[in-house]
Structure 1
Amino acid sequence: SLSPTLCSSDLLKSNSSRLLLASGDGLDFQALLVDEDRAWLMVGAKNHIFLLHLDQPSREPEKIFWPAPREQVEHCQLAGKNVETECANFIRLLQPFNRTHVFACGTGSYQPVCAFIQLGARGKGPGAPPMRLVTHSLESGRGRCPYSPHEPFTGLLIDGELYSGTSSDFMGSSAAFFRTWVHGAEQSYIRTEQNQDHWLHEPAFVGAYAIPDTYNTHDDKVYIFFRETAMEAGQWERRHIHARVARVCKVSHQRSACCGQVGQRGLRDMGVHVPGPRGAAGTLTALLSPHSGVFSGSAVCVYSMAAVRAAFSGPFAHKEGFDYRWVEYKGRVPYPRPGTCPSETYDPLLQSTKDFPDEVISFMRTHQLMWEPVYPQGRQPVLVRVNVPYRLRRLLVHRLEMESRHYDVLFLGTDDGKVLKVGLAGGASRGTEVISLEEVSVTKVPSPILDMKLSPKRQELFVSSPHGLLQLSLYRCELYGKTCTDCCLARDPYCTWDGRTCAPHLLTEKRRARCQDVLKSDPLSQCQDTAEGTAAVEKLVFGVEKNSTFLECLARSPQTTVRWLVRHGEETGLSEVRNNGRFSVLEQGLLIRQLAREDAGTYECQAVERSFSRPLTRYSLRVIRQEAME
């Protein structure tokens, strides 16, 4: 179904958005970090870091000017890079270190640099100490941050260790996954082995998440998502870009890390939800944008974490035979199984991977790929966008628990400045239902969405682009009409009928079984105003014979299908109007071309969703003879 579309000017007028930062010369607001408890938002941009106090909208943002050294900018220009879009310090990484410091990294004009940002006091007065760059913490960002402001990468800081997937040289020809200690005197790190294409081959890193596997914290792993040119193809076969997931143990002081890989193709962005206690199943939501001569578009797939773990526990792949092809490995797997984290769960004598036998380490280096792929739930995407003037590039997932079921809201950022809000309703007896809620243009000029961060507590979405930063409310309930039925049929989980209007539903409240039940969406049982509007006011309209006429009808709910019925004369019944050469049922109404005398009658526009229908408008059309107009 088609979702309501709002342009940026309508958005500002609706009081559901606020422009936080704007830049005419393209500051590239690439990195966002939000702290809901202390109500601040940190923004990484070109040569700048901003700190906004969300509870004090009138307060001027705090700012740090952090440019690259002049000699490095000149060196970047001499290397043929663009002085405006590349030769500057683009802040790409903002990660919380503790309650007083944030770890930040920038491209440094193709010489990556990292440092700590000390947060100022929480005092509201103008004399409160502002945030500042801790200059004595400045150090090289190689292996932590990319050289290029445009290169995809990922970074995750946990317990003082930074897990990052990024390029490792100026040209961007080599990339690796690093684990670096960000505090202490020594700069120690471990990384994937160099010059090993069978480990990583032209990777583009997308995301990294710490996901618990069992009830033992020593089994915790960091999952890394990326896409790469697959090495499984034969020498003469066409190479494909595959989506991958790898994992490393989070236990410190390890000698090496095993990266198994599984997946499909074209990964663009990820959203991860691991509900409940440690070791719970959880899901992965992936945004994929395959590139081929046949298919051009974007898709969203949902994967089960249980299926991912099963693939890692399954058979390995390896090369054998006269043609050296990839096949399933059926030989003996050494103990402890590669990919196992050293912990008491498996063997109390194994305190770290330094205790692993050489046989295990050797097996890891030659069997990095798993044999079984991971397929999405239902073996198909939950959402596909093709033949549209944009591509999806950013993804955020907000999960809402409802009784024994859940409802996921996807926020999808496009390459032309739009944010799509899509609901995924999962029922126990049926598959996932996709509900298009709205489409919002957040930029005045088409430009890509660079980052998005969600604040469930504030019910706000922060969206950045090359030219601005916008604070966007999660709801615009007033657009859904003035009746309980309209509000209910919209199926927006952030809205509810409060007895008078379609109003925001506070997620902290206990959910009532009224219009928030987006899985049922039955106004007959959830509303008392379903009889309202059944006797729609009849409007008298005139049309001239052999001319065209248009009967307007707009449905409030984006899930509603409009149906037109007509009665020619008092004694005939209602019959449905079908699209043909003269009648066209459009989004905004009914178009009748070459009006004839027999077209006169009563036309009724009905809103239909599932088993519920009701009239929206009714017209009495009278046809004036052409001779009467001469």
Structure 2
Amino acid sequence: MISFTWFFNKRGCSASVHPIGNVPDILQAGNISWTASGSTNPVCTDRAEPNDQNCANFIRVARHLSSQSLLVCGTNAYSPRCREYKYDPAQRNYTWKTDVDGQSICPQDRNSSAAVLFVNNRQIAALSARAGIPRVPAVLEAKPLRTRPEDPTQLAADAEFVGAFAFDDHAYFFLTESAPEKDHCGPRTAATVARVCVNDPGGAPPHDWMWTTLRKVRLQCSLNGTKPFVFTDIAAVSPIMTRWNKAFVFYALFRIKGSPFQGSAVCAFSVDDLIATISDGKPGREKCPAQPTIVGNETQFLQDNSPLSRREVHNYLNEPMLAHVGFDYHYTSLWIDPQVRTVSGKRYDVFFIGTSHGHVIKAVNVGHNSISTVVIEDIIVFPGEDPVLDLKIVRRPGVVTLLVTTYHELVSVPLDNCNWTVRTCTQCIGLQDPYCAWNKDTTKCESLVDQAVPKNAVQEVASGHSLECPDEFSKHMKNMKFPHGSDPWAIDNTASSGRATPHLYSAHTLGFAITFCIMGSVVIGFGIGYWYRHNQRKDMAYFNYR
């Protein structure tokens, strides 16, 4: 059996698919090259701008069908195709066996979004709107089932999908779409979850093309649960669910669009809250039917079974796990390493967040019944400030690494930097990194990634300090007198680790910053308008306003 971990960024890899073996220090496992078919190039030439990079073949789907076969789908110069490849262990090579149309599973270009699930031998694909004349609206389908074209109650034509996962008997798709039900000035979008039963049998003929289990609910990631500061657009979702504070949660990344500043946040959501809200309080909605549903009157059926829930799912504890508001960068991608076990036996979720200026932020929430997020480090992965498009932790025998991609590069980054700049016990403990612990026997800060915990290990992720540290700093601190109410053990992560970390803003600070930016924009706009009107008044004197 072949056991490869395939990796390609969600925006596509031109002309080839590579296993993680092409990353330095990881054994090369194989390579597949597949260029755009010549017969489609004229179509690409007619439709695209000169030198359009989308006239290549960008790989958007890659998945094992069996122990020796692989499904690969590419954009193929605006004409998506899918191939099945067979692996020859003797030759350590792949040959393609079938080549079929991929319009129903693969986007047309590297920038269009899509989410595809293979569950119980069924393919469920969500494709965003595709350019062309006429424009093809977004669709959620599992042949022969599909959403109704141009029906905003089922799926807005401009829906942008960012991810999906399966849970129990359901498939969940995450997207941003126009929200016509919002009573808001100007265009309004909303982060949305669409759910269908994996085994949805459809309607009875002639409605056997209809989803009968489609449900939708809006997600709200906001500061302190207040609507004025809602991060409206979902940008990424972690496919990994985890336990936290007795709740089963998943994490998603959100952004604010159409604003003078760049705002982004990572929020947690309770799976139980999602299931209860998407069912809209109607019994039986969480169950999947075994037989086709008799639709009768199609219009009446759709009215009686409106997929959108009347309520929203709010972020867990009504606060983001981490947020950034400013003019310099925003979050772009997310990966979670769930339930990392520490020396004390406690477990923490570790966040890896890619940014638009080529950084990866590593953070951990040390709160138990509340959110108290610590930024462990801010890693400059791409000095050229290329946006990070995708993140993935890969675990193979002897190798554990974080893969980081842009449009042009794939970089392997270690999960920790425990022994790079850390020299003392206090510095090591001050990192508050679940991957790092101080070994009193070797007097070194050692990595716990894929390693057994040393017998005399010291680690305090929650507090960032320990009286067990024997270094000179700790000895002196014990004997010093401090003003009443001060904390001698407060650790500055930036100073102790030698690495710059971004500011972690409280909800109140972020709220003030957003309000200040909005008010500043209004004042500046008013000033410009007043100046223009005042200086143009003479030129406009000949107008006779009645």
2:153 corresponds to 1:205: no
Question: Residues 226-274 of structure 1: CA distance to partner in whole angstroms, max 9, x if unpaired?
Answer: 001111035x842211100111111264442322222232110011443
Paired position in structure 1 for 2:107: 146
Distance (whole Å) between structure 2 residues aligned to residue 197 and residue 159 of structure 1: 29
From 176, 179, 187, the counterpart of 2:138: 176
Q: How far did 1:451 drift?
A: 2.0
Pair 247,73 (structure 1): closer, same or farther in 2 beyond 3 Å = same
Q: How far did 1:64 drift?
A: 2.2
Q: How far did 1:355 drift?
A: 4.3
- Equivalent residue pairs, number: 454
Distance (whole Å) between structure 2 residues aligned to residue 291 and residue 170 of structure 1: 21
In the alignment, structure 1 segments of 5+ residues that lack a partner are 1-34, 122-126, 181-187, 213-219, 316-332, 343-350, 536-552, 562-630
Question: Residues 333-384 of structure 1: CA distance to partner in whole angstroms, max 9, x if unpaired?
Answer: 6xx7445312xxxxxxxx23x0456489954555111011111122122211
Paired position in structure 1 for 2:452: 509
Distance (whole Å) between structure 1 residues aligned to residue 471 and residue 380 of structure 2: 33
Pair 158,97 (structure 1): closer, same or farther in 2 beyond 3 Å = farther
Paired position in structure 1 for 2:308: 369
C-alpha contact (below 8 Å) 2:265/2:324 kept by paired residues: yes
Pair 453,426 (structure 1): closer, same or farther in 2 beyond 3 Å = same
Q: How far did 1:293 drift?
A: 3.2
The 3-state SS of whatever aligns with 1:38 is coil
2:378 corresponds to 1:439: yes
The 3-state SS of whatever aligns with 2:79 is coil
Paired position in structure 1 for 2:508: none
Question: Residues 189-222 of structure 1: CA distance to partner in whole angstroms, max 9, x if unpaired?
Answer: 321111212221110001110112xxxxxxx111
The 3-state SS of whatever aligns with 2:117 is strand
Distance (whole Å) between structure 2 residues aligned to residue 175 and residue 494 of structure 1: 45
TM-score, normalised by the number of residues in structure 2: 0.75
Distance (whole Å) between structure 2 residues aligned to residue 391 and residue 130 of structure 1: 41
2:196 corresponds to 1:248: yes
Paired position in structure 2 for 1:415: 356
2:237 corresponds to 1:270: yes
Distance (whole Å) between structure 2 residues aligned to residue 397 and residue 446 of structure 1: 23
From 273, 280, 288, the counterpart of 1:341: 288
The one-letter code sitting in structure 1 at the alignment partner of 2:91 is A
Distance (whole Å) between structure 2 residues aligned to residue 271 and residue 96 of structure 1: 21
C-alpha contact (below 8 Å) 1:396/1:452 kept by paired residues: yes
Paired position in structure 1 for 2:495: 555
C-alpha contact (below 8 Å) 1:289/1:297 kept by paired residues: yes
Distance (whole Å) between structure 2 residues aligned to residue 434 and residue 259 of structure 1: 33
In the alignment, structure 2 segments of 5+ residues that lack a partner are 204-210, 221-231, 478-492, 502-546
The one-letter code sitting in structure 2 at the alignment partner of 1:178 is L
Q: How far did 1:418 drift?
A: 1.6
Q: How far did 1:512 drift?
A: 7.1
Distance (whole Å) between structure 2 residues aligned to residue 533 and residue 465 of structure 1: 46
Pair 388,398 (structure 1): closer, same or farther in 2 beyond 3 Å = farther
Residues 490-569 of structure 1 aligned to structure 2 (within 5 Å): 490-499=431-440, 500-507=443-450, 509=452, 514-524=457-467, 526-529=468-471, 534=476, 555-557=495-497
C-alpha contact (below 8 Å) 1:487/1:515 kept by paired residues: no
Paired position in structure 2 for 1:105: 73
2:146 corresponds to 1:191: yes
The 3-state SS of whatever aligns with 2:446 is strand
Distance (whole Å) between structure 1 residues aligned to residue 187 and residue 368 of structure 2: 39
Paired position in structure 2 for 1:93: 61
Q: How far did 1:476 drift?
A: 0.9
Distance (whole Å) between structure 1 residues aligned to residue 329 and residue 24 of structure 2: 35
Distance (whole Å) between structure 1 residues aligned to residue 376 and residue 334 of structure 2: 15
The one-letter code sitting in structure 1 at the alignment partner of 2:83 is A
Tell me how large the CA RMSD over aligned residues is.
Answer: 3.3
Q: How far did 1:554 drift?
A: 7.9
Distance (whole Å) between structure 1 residues aligned to residue 295 and residue 387 of structure 2: 49
Residues 33-48 of structure 1 aligned to structure 2 (within 5 Å): 38=3, 40-43=5-8, 45-48=13-16
The 3-state SS of whatever aligns with 2:40 is helix
Pair 248,91 (structure 1): closer, same or farther in 2 beyond 3 Å = same
The one-letter code sitting in structure 1 at the alignment partner of 2:122 is E
Distance (whole Å) between structure 2 residues aligned to residue 118 and residue 159 of structure 1: 22
The one-letter code sitting in structure 2 at the alignment partner of 1:390 is Y
Question: Residues 475-500 of structure 1: CA distance to partner in whole angstroms, max 9, x if unpaired?
Answer: 11123521222111111111111222
Distance (whole Å) between structure 1 residues aligned to residue 455 and residue 52 of structure 2: 53
Pair 554,208 (structure 1): closer, same or farther in 2 beyond 3 Å = closer
C-alpha contact (below 8 Å) 1:97/1:157 kept by paired residues: no
Pair 364,282 (structure 1): closer, same or farther in 2 beyond 3 Å = farther
The one-letter code sitting in structure 1 at the alignment partner of 2:125 is S
C-alpha contact (below 8 Å) 1:39/1:55 kept by paired residues: no
Residues 464-483 of structure 1 aligned to structure 2 (within 5 Å): 464-483=405-424
C-alpha contact (below 8 Å) 1:302/1:381 kept by paired residues: yes
C-alpha contact (below 8 Å) 1:406/1:425 kept by paired residues: no
C-alpha contact (below 8 Å) 1:207/1:226 kept by paired residues: yes
Distance (whole Å) between structure 2 residues aligned to residue 60 and residue 432 of structure 1: 41
Paired position in structure 1 for 2:334: 395
The one-letter code sitting in structure 2 at the alignment partner of 1:271 is S
Residues 281-430 of structure 1 aligned to structure 2 (within 5 Å): 281-293=247-259, 295-315=261-281, 337-338=284-285, 340-342=287-289, 351-352=290-291, 354-355=292-293, 358=296, 362-364=300-302, 367-387=306-326, 389-402=328-341, 405-428=346-369
Paired position in structure 2 for 1:129: 92
C-alpha contact (below 8 Å) 1:453/1:462 kept by paired residues: yes
Pair 146,511 (structure 1): closer, same or farther in 2 beyond 3 Å = farther
From 389, 396, 401, the counterpart of 1:450: 389
The 3-state SS of whatever aligns with 1:103 is strand
Distance (whole Å) between structure 2 residues aligned to residue 511 and residue 198 of structure 1: 57
Distance (whole Å) between structure 2 residues aligned to residue 417 and residue 310 of structure 1: 38
Pair 143,40 (structure 1): closer, same or farther in 2 beyond 3 Å = closer
Pair 513,272 (structure 1): closer, same or farther in 2 beyond 3 Å = farther
Distance (whole Å) between structure 1 residues aligned to residue 94 and residue 139 of structure 2: 31
Pair 291,59 (structure 1): closer, same or farther in 2 beyond 3 Å = closer
Q: How far did 1:295 drift?
A: 4.6
Distance (whole Å) between structure 2 residues aligned to residue 374 and residue 58 of structure 1: 42
Pair 358,243 (structure 1): closer, same or farther in 2 beyond 3 Å = same
